[in-house]
Amino acid sequence: MIDASSNIPKHVAIIMDGNGRWAQERGKNRIFGHRTGKKAVQNIVETAAKHKIDYLTLYAFSTENWKRPPLEVNTLMDLLIRSLKRELKQMLENNIRLQSIGALESLPVEVQKALQHTIEQTKNNSGMVLTLALNYGAHQEITQAVRSIATKVKNNIISPEKIDQNIINKHLYTRNLPAVDLLIRTSGEQRISNFLLWQIAYAELYFTEVLWPDFNETHFCAAIKSYQKRERRFGKTSEQLQEK
Ligand code: FPP
């Protein structure tokens, strides 16, 4: 278990990786891995809420994932629709508010409808904010932010010298989220894969060999414990931090 009194990360983001390999190791197809991965999602959402994480952001489908075989893409969309419907009760019981980031307008209409419904139903919940990154890519997110700011400059709504970090933050999908404190990636891969590039500037990174379908409360707590031992300096020296 984790020490709840000390330094719990406010915002945890997870790259859920390894569903395909988990299934292949068992001689099954990749779809079986995603189905089991969905159960890990349910478990980790509940675990994070239980441990008083304020913001949990999950990388569920990237802008690059469309390149996968159509059957796999369709299954992921289908799993998402069914999960949103089935997990509404759990979200309400756990006081979780759902939101989503990404180019949502390009998702299948059924997914958009299921998302809108669950977001609407959970909008008054005051506990953990669960953000699903769907059709999300940081390059795409930053591009649309730049485009939107440029349009405002052109229309004399913003002057170029007023553009600062705060204005950029406000044009990202994550405008209502704090910066990421802890980024977890499962499955042993050590890369960021176009996830929240702006928002992880000072995040602590945690990589584990565990494949996503096996990732459970014990593994989640190990990541939090690792975070709690780290000194976050934000560019300062260790001595400066002691002086506080
Ligand atoms: C990465 O594993 C996982 C994904 C691309 C999608 C994540 C989806 C789930 C966890 C299931 C459903 C999610 C929700 C929110 C209901 P991979 O296929 O890249 O694994 P591999 O690297 O071993 O091939």
Residues 6+ apart with CB under 8 A from 218: none
- Kindly tell me if the per-residue pLDDT of 113 is higher than 70: yes
pTM beyond cutoff 0.85: yes
Q: Is 41 in the pocket of ligand 1 (CB under 6 A)?
A: yes
- The catalytically annotated residue of 7, 29, 43, 65 is 65
Q: Is 17 in the pocket of ligand 1 (CB under 6 A)?
A: yes
Q: For 136-195, how does the pLDDT look when each residue is reduced to its tens digit (9 = 90+)?
A: 999 999 999 999 999 999 999 999 999 999 999 999 999 999 999 999 999 999 999 999
- Which numbered atom of ligand 1 lies nearest the CA of 76? 12
In this structure, the residue with its CA closest to atom 13 of ligand 1 is 38
Q: How far apart are CA 217 and CA 85, in angstroms?
A: 24
Q: How far apart are CA 35 and CA 23, in angstroms?
A: 10
Question: Cα(97) to centroid of ligand 1, in Å?
Answer: 22
Average pLDDT over residues 16-37: 97
Catalytic residue at 65? Answer: yes
- Residue to probe by mutation, ligand 1, list 16, 22, 83, 132, most atoms within 8 Å of CB: 16
The residue ranking higher by pLDDT, 102 or 6, is 102
In this structure, the residue with its CA closest to atom 7 of ligand 1 is 60
Catalytic residue at 95? Answer: no
Average pLDDT of the chain? 96
- Kindly tell me if the per-residue pLDDT of 5 is higher than 80: no
pLDDT of residue 244: 63
Q: Domains (ranges, CATH) in the chain?
A: 11-230 (3.40.1180.10)
